Chain A
Amino acid sequence: MNSTANILQRSIIAPYYRRNSGFFLFIFFLLFGLYPNFKQTLELHYVFINGISTSVDFFLIALLIWILYSFKTIQFVNGCAKSKTYNFLQHLNALAPRKRFFQLLLLQLQLMAPVLGYGLAVVIIAVINHHIAGGLAVVFTLVSLCAFTTAAAYFLLQKTKWEGLNIVMPSLHLPGNLFSFLLKFIFNEQFAVLLVLKLITFSCLYFFAKTDAQVFEDRMLWLLYLTSLVGHSILIYRNQQFMETKMSFYRNLPVKPVATLLSLLGVYVVVLIPEIWALKGVALEQHAVANYIWMILTGPSLLLLLHCMLYTEDMKMEGFLQLLFGVWIVMLFFSLSSNRWLLPLICLSMATFIFFTSYYRYEKNTAVEGLE
């Protein structure tokens, strides 16, 4: 690996995967962890993969997800290009255009690796099954996405003022408070993550909630729902980081902790509206109204608990993921018991306790790390 590739690897690729590790873990679990055995997982993916190369509908769904993922990678590169700490990347502009494009192509290939890996499987299966047209369509799509994202990275690293990738949401005239600021942060700066997450969780939950309860027992639905909730970890982590960096002045404001806590709860209720809507089949189709109520109460409470847990110490994403795994296991076992109605109560109580005991004691460790 040459020095340029090495710098790009350490400054863009590694931080990208580190920062999105929660997201990837969630997607991986959703794709490979929900089925009883490996054989069934493979069979299901064979259906998906075959579908992408033979059915236009499947192909369009895959195309949408791949495009969204491509935008996510470009958003990340765009964030780097705008950041002062990445000013050193300007030295790349000293490379000959062809060489620069090649380096950025290598960068994009690595950022797009999850999509390219799955796409490659689709192409191989398509060739084996003689679905040449479908396979070619996938190859063309992937090559186009790589070329487009590389060109975008090339353009962005020239520091030209291109605001085209900033998804500007219609401005909502909400009263200025923590609740509205956090929602603006989520919709303005985490839109790509939110969209991908909601597309996946909504479609999975909607499908399961609509299906006859005798086909999928409700334990499966709870497993999927809790996994979807834990999949929000990336949003929660960024929300907390946003509050402690860009909104650090908030700590000097005379706001009652309970008001802060309620604002956070309100934010997570809004974030979970798609899931609440998707699950309505549990009440309407499966007639399990009590189950539905426990589910919609558990959602925001669990997200609030995860947010509050971030105040126990200044965690890196890796540490947060370990904590998440532990919480997910405990919640999963609890959801299997007949006392699952206690879940929202336990989450809310724990969140309140942790917040009230930890919020004012919390301090970001960035300064500490530099000193020790």
Chain B
Amino acid sequence: MLQLNNIEKWYGSHHIFSINDLNLPAGIYWLKGANGAGKSTFMKLLAGLIPFKGDVFIDEKISIQKNPVHYRLLLNHAEAEPVYPSFLTGNELIDFVSTIKKGTKEQVNEIRQILGIDDYLQNPTGSYSSGMLKKLSLLLAFIGQPKWILLDEPLTTLDQSSQKGLCELIMQQQQQKNISFIITSHHDIENNDIRFDKTFILKDKELVTVSQPI
């Protein structure tokens, strides 16, 4: 369960959105919204990348404000436009995140295979294309034992076979490990074999439900 309490996000005097109370049971959620509606801000906020007013709880007791370390162990995030230090290799980043998120080599290898990530991980990320960076960020987001994974525009810049692999991975992780997902995307993901429990839209600075559970 992901519980959002009295969330408010402002950039200076610019109000981005407010969410009074929202409880998200385990599942897969699709967050929609026009460009600039605040989808990425919402994801960054949940991931603990940016400050905000209010609180978010995982399983009712692990608060982002009061238990920031434990919260981050249970929630992973892949950015829409990932950026990494250009001199670090993909493998270095994977080792780093695996150590902190308590991931295993077997887990990394499995995700690599599904996402179709080949040998480029031994090269510095400065030499990667945007698609390769995207795959790396997705791989990093699946490392560890998270209860929630936030994927911001995960299909953008991915080739078709990787898109298919990602959809399979999401469904597999949800069914086998009960990991929940919040996904933002402009792509029509419903055609890509992901069964969403609910779809939200960020509109007029509020989060609105646009469809009920299937």
Contact = CB atoms under 8 A, between A and B. Distances in A.
B92 A176 contact: yes
Given A189-B87, A371-B12, A252 B51 contact: no
Nearest to B73: A254
Interface in B48-89: 48-51, 68-73, 75-77, 79, 82-88
Contacts of A363: 50-51
B96 interface: yes
A362 B92 CA distance: 27
B87 A253 contact: no
Contacts of B11: 367-368, 371-372
A362 B87 CA distance: 26
Best-surrounded residue of B13, B85, B101 (most CB of chain A within 10 A): B85
Interface residues of B, number: 36
Chain A interface bracket (under 10, 10 to 19, 20 to 34, 35 or more): 20 to 34
A184 interface: yes
By CB atoms of chain A within 10 A, which of B12, B101, B140 has the most?
B12
A88 interface: no
A93 interface: no
Interface string B10-26: 01111000000000000
B101 A253 contact: yes
B47 interface: yes
B95 A176 contact: yes
B48 A251 contact: yes
B51 to A, nearest CB: 5
Nearest to B41: A367
Residue of A176, A251, A257, A363 with most chain B CB atoms under a 10 A cut-off = A176
B1 interface: no
Given A185-B87, A245-B83, A371-B14, A253 B97 contact: yes
Nearest to A171: B87
Helix, strand, loop or mixed for chain A's interface? helix
Given A249-B140, A368-B14, A254 B100 contact: yes
B128 to A, nearest CB: 13
Contacts of A255: 69, 72, 100
Contacts of B12: 365, 368, 371-372
Interface string A249-281: 101111111000000000000000000000000
Given A176-B95, A368-B11, A368-B14, A253 B100 contact: yes
Contacts of B79: 248-249
Interface in A353-368: 360-363, 365, 367-368
Contact of A247 (B13, B76, B85): B85
A246 interface: yes
Contacts of A337: none
A164 B50 CA distance: 38
Nearest to B46: A252
Nearest to B12: A368
Given A177-B96, A184-B88, A246-B84, A252 B13 contact: no
B100 A252 contact: no
Most chain B CB atoms below 10 A, which of A189, A248, A255:
A248
A185 B101 contact: no
B83 A246 contact: yes
Contact of A252 (B72, B87, B93, B99): B72
Contacts of B14: 368, 371-372
A216 interface: no
Nearest to A251: B49
Contacts of B137: 249
Interface of B: 11-14, 47-51, 68-73, 75-77, 79, 82-88, 92-93, 95-97, 99-101, 137, 140
Given A184-B87, A252-B77, 6 more contacts: A246-B86, A251-B48, A252-B75, A360-B48, A371-B14, A372-B13
The 9 nearest A-B residue pairs measured at CB: A176-B96, A254-B73, A254-B72, A368-B11, A371-B14, A368-B12, A246-B85, A254-B69, A252-B47
